[in-house]
Amino acid sequence: MAPKAGKAKPKAKGDKKKKEEKVLPTVLDVTVEAPDYTHLTLKGISTDRILDVRKLLAVHVDTCHITSFSLCHEVRGPQLKDTVEIAALKPCHLSIVEEEYTEELAVAHVRRLLDVVACTTAFGVKKPEQKPAPATDAAAEAAKPGSPGAVVAGGGGGEEPMYPPPKLGEFYDFFSFSHLSPPIQYIRRSTRPFVDDKREEDFFQIDVRVCNGKPVTIVASRAGFYPSGKRALINHSLVGLLQQTNRGFEAAYKALMKAFVEHNKFGNLPYGFRSNTWVVPPVVADSPSVFPPLPTEDETWGGNGGGLGRDGKHDHRPWVKEFAILAAMPCKTAEERQVRDRKAFLLHSLFVDVGVLKAIAAIQNLIPDDKSSHEKTNGTASSVPHTQQIGDMKITVTKDKADASSKSDVKLDGSQAPGVSFDELAKRNLLKGITADESATVHDTATLGVVVVKHCGYTAVVQVPLDAQLTTVVPAQQDIHIEDQPEGGSNALNVNSLRMLLQKSCVQSPGAVQRLHSSDPEENEATTNFVRKIITDSMQNLEGEAPRETRPIRWELGACWVQHLQNQTSEKADGKKSDESKDVPTVKGLGKQFGQLKEIKKKSDDKSGKSASTKDSTSPNTNDAHSDNTASTKEDKEAILQKALTEAAFQRLKESETGLHAKSPDELIEMAYKYYDDTALPKLVADFGSLELSPVDGRTLTDFMHTRGLQMRSLGQVVELSDKLPHIQSLCIHEMVVRAFKHIVRAVIAAVDDINDMAQSVASCLNILLGPFPEENNDVKCGEDHNLRQKWLEVFLMKRFGLAWKDEYSLDLRKYAILRGLCHKVGLELVTKDYDMDTPHAFRKSDIISIVPIYKHVACSSADGRTLLESSKTFLDKGKLEDAVNYGTKALAKLVAVCGPYHRMTAGAYSLLAVVLYHTGDFNQATIYQQKALDINERELGLDHPDTMKSYGDLAVFYYRLQHTELALKYVNRALYLLHLTCGPSHPNTAATYINVAMMEEGLGNVHVALRYLHEALKCNQRLLGVDHIQTAASYHAIAIALSLMEAYSLSVQHEKTTLRILQSKLGSEDLRTQDAAAWLEYFESKALEQQEAARNGTPKPDASIASRGHLRSSRLYQSR
């Protein structure tokens, strides 16, 4: 019998551990009685509340159309509050009780129906329903253009790719049900008079046109909905009424619900989406001047772009006082911090929402006068800031420079503050970092009260100025009264909803529609020359730019440095206990730079030791005097540092036992720079190599570097250190290119005088930046544009990143990845279509739909929650699953308490706990948590956000483990499509996903298709990570299993021997994964012997199946983030 997949079995660790085990979450069946007396069984978690049950009902096909209801329990009574825990309900049986509508609730009910049916019209064009391809044709289907397995052009580094490029035009196909007849053609507010006299309980009338009928007028009332003049037919739900009165609607709606179940019978229904991705829903392309909103954001039906503060109630809130109260709140214990952090989260979220809305309003007030001001002053007035005071908020708006060489990014750390030098700022940030605790963010009121918004060539800084009196004297009894966020924190501000439409003026004059789709050649040439001049002028300025003498420091660097020193101290202590002869502790997973560091450190220690002993033996009196001087100097340095820090901060630094409290600020700066170069950067690259960190795009790369206090200007050094990691080099090159192009696009946007010319100017800019290479097009102008952008890249990368451009970098550039990065950083929304960037004019004026604001602020959540999350990750990596579950559960509880159960910040905790539970074998609970994470990520972060992408891949593996292989394949193909669009085929995450696809194809009986994926994954891992990497071993192991299914056991033995050899050399014989491989090898060898015996004796061959056996737990490496 084949060995089972390796799992770390929890050992008995005493009564205390067992007690903790009992309170861990479990899957719970919740029975709900619907209004029609049918019973639904929902899969919940024992920690869920009534709010979670309402969310589950909203994604169930039988109840997704119901909105105004309460839940009743036979013991606890009617109208259960959202906060009631379902585990406390005995029995766990609830009933839906229909509640009366208010006018607002009736409008929301109409919006829900429009939302549910929107997938039939908003995400694709109508096309015939496609039948699933036969299993034997899966490989051929995958090779078709636009298949989910496609790769981005130019992503193979010169090699023939496994699949053709993905089609951007098919981005929304995953959510589209356009092959079905829309149950609703439209719903509009009716202007007709009421047939009967309008009663007090009647709110409004709507005209509804269903799929096959004439328009019908329906009255919305307190009790429900009824056809105009037929009050006797009143029904509580609009769907119920239409099903009752129209068979065509009934059939179409039933077909849609059936399609939803086929799409995913566990939930994740395709509605509730927001326009929050850089490519707009296809329905927008039909009316770009109007930008038809998705129902969730349709203000006609009570929707909006999320967030709070739109009503103006908080404009004059006493922000200064409340931020000061926050900073003074008790925070010594975890319980106190949880209360404080919840207040801080709510207040800061509200401040950011209000600040962004007010900043956009201030910018929009300046845009109409922009042309006249430029004509009058030739642009000189643009440097004069516009200041506005709204209550405690000070808003300063400045016009961006039309110069791509200028450093236009405004930092949150006060680097633009008048009178603050770069040296002083570096010291301030470092001191903040080395003294940081769980309250560092909340106590830094100056940074907490800042939001920076960039939009349409303007930069707005929203600031709450510090009040010295309030920051020093705040009455302890004062509190902050602030409302909870509705719906558990979902529907946070979607900044894309504040877009500036660029096509709106194109339809205001005769013949404008034709001009919209076919730009005037003269206009094209004029704007192209305009962009060329900006690039040329900016390049001259950049070449003459003097290098900055002072290196900036992020405060996170100081915090990581202290942690590193503390870890070193504890490792030394452990090393001495285990082996007194060891001078330097080994640090797991570090590269060659650390070996050099250890040697240098050892030599310096030896030298200092020798010189000290010489002094001791030759001149004791001198040594005493030297000790006195040293002590005196140490006291002086401590005094200097004490003046720069608060008493509490200095005490924390002293108690950290790092010795940093005895250093002067200048010494600390020098030591921090040394730590940065010699330790932090090499450690980052080592983590990339071990796949402990696996960035997939510029956003994740930036996050990983910033959380470690590393500057993006160090990308050039990361490229040099990553000489054995080509996928990391590629990501760094792409991010540098995106940042170089970002400055050009911003300069072009800032230089455009008339907003009506913006779309054409941006299109011309993109055509120059992403145009064809000379060998792809013989056009002379194309060659000149190529040389211009190439020169810009070379100069910019050398000046800003210290990297010399190499010709081979051009071969690996993935233009879709660059376009996506540009749109994220500049704030562009484009038409969803396939752009042929091998032509000179891939982008047209009509493709540039809008500009959306880009804003930044500090993240304010729960430091305790993040620490618990990191602990859970660490225990998972070590295979200590019981501890990983325990800490993951605590982290989730903490983040739910601080941020709410459906906020974007909580999704990461759901996702991590799901992965941990998966490794314990609890696939059901893992799936429930991951579905929550995916629902949040899609709606709050974006449809191609790295977290969303990861949720698709994780959920696919969980579905596979639950034996829902076809569903798993659907989701893993979505993950693969997005991976190819962002990081391309040459990436470890893509290779790991190939392995997952292979498992699923094998589960459907397509072993030959599975082998193709596995061989591609093996080649990818060998090329990117090396022939002896753990992930390469995972590929060998997966191939061995696939070969065993074809009963090629001798080949399985060969591959598994390679697996075992790699794991033994990398992990040692005691590691669980090595033991798994040894067991598999033994099994394959036994089967090979059986096969040989059977061949000699003529015995029938035994049946083989992988589904019951599992595989090496290498898929964990895909989860690395």
Q: 3-state secondary structure string, 749-801?
A: HHHCCCHHHHHHHHHHHHHHHCCCCHHHCCCHHHHHHHHHHHHHHHHHHHHHH
Contact 223, 201 (CB under 8 A): yes
**Structure tokens given for 676:** 């940065």
Q: Give the span between the Cα atoms of 1085 and 1080, in whole angstroms.
A: 9
DSSP secondary structure, 220-271, as one string: EESS-EEETT-GGG-BSSHHHHHHHH-HHHHHHHHHHHHHHHHH-TTS--S-
Whole-number pLDDT of residue 506: 46
Contact 496, 452 (CB under 8 A): no
Whole-number pLDDT of residue 637: 76
Domain ranges of the chain: 26-99, 110-131+167-297, 319-475, 528-547+728-854, 553-576+630-710, 879-1119
Contact 557, 707 (CB under 8 A): no
| Other Cβ atoms closer than 10 A to 608 | 10
Q: With a cut of 70, list the residues of the chain below it in pLDDT.
A: 1-23, 125-164, 368-383, 408-409, 413-419, 468-477, 505-520, 574-632, 634, 776-778, 1099-1121
pLDDT in tens, 621-646: 444 444 455 555 767 778 888 888 88
Contact 58, 109 (CB under 8 A): no
Q: Which amino acid is at 964?
A: H
| Phi and psi at residue 41, to the nearest 5° | -110, 115
DSSP secondary structure, 664-681, as one string: -HHHHHHHHHHHIIIIIH
Whole-number pLDDT of residue 548: 75
Q: Is 1112 helix (H, G, I), strand (E, B) or coil?
A: coil
Q: Give the span between the Cα atoms of 631 and 635, in whole angstroms.
A: 6
| Phi and psi at residue 615, to the nearest 5° | -60, -40
Strands (DSSP E) found in 438-535 = 450-455, 458-463, 500-501
Q: Give the span between the Cα atoms of 348 and 734, in whole angstroms.
A: 33
Q: How many residues are recorded in the chain? A: 1121
**Structure tokens given for 176:** 């589209």
Look at domain 879-1119 and name its CATH class: mainly alpha
Contact 168, 981 (CB under 8 A): yes
Q: Give the span between the Cα atoms of 887 and 895, in whole angstroms.
A: 12
Q: Give the span between the Cα atoms of 70 and 609, in whole angstroms.
A: 76
Whole-number pLDDT of residue 1099: 64
Whole-number pLDDT of residue 377: 42
Look at domain 26-99 and name its CATH class: alpha beta
| Nearest one of 350, 280, 342 to 308, comparing CA atoms | 350
Q: Give the span between the Cα atoms of 1002 and 1040, in whole angstroms.
A: 13
The contacts of residue 596 (CB under 8 Å, 6+ apart) are none
User: Residue holding tokens 């504040």?
Assistant: 498
| Nearest one of 766, 836, 289 to 527, comparing CA atoms | 766
| Nearest one of 761, 740, 741 to 750, comparing CA atoms | 761
Q: Which amino acid is at 42?
A: L
Q: Structure pTM?
A: 0.88
Q: Give the span between the Cα atoms of 563 and 569, in whole angstroms.
A: 10
Contact 730, 812 (CB under 8 A): yes
Asked if the bond preceding 164 is cis, omega within 30° of 0, the reply is no
Q: Which amino acid is at 666?
A: D
Contact 392, 323 (CB under 8 A): no
**Structure tokens given for 1029:** 């990497």
| Nearest one of 4, 53, 61 to 31, comparing CA atoms | 53
Q: Give the span between the Cα atoms of 952 and 950, in whole angstroms.
A: 5
pLDDT in tens, 412-468: 765 555 567 888 889 999 999 999 999 999 999 999 999 999 999 999 999 998 775
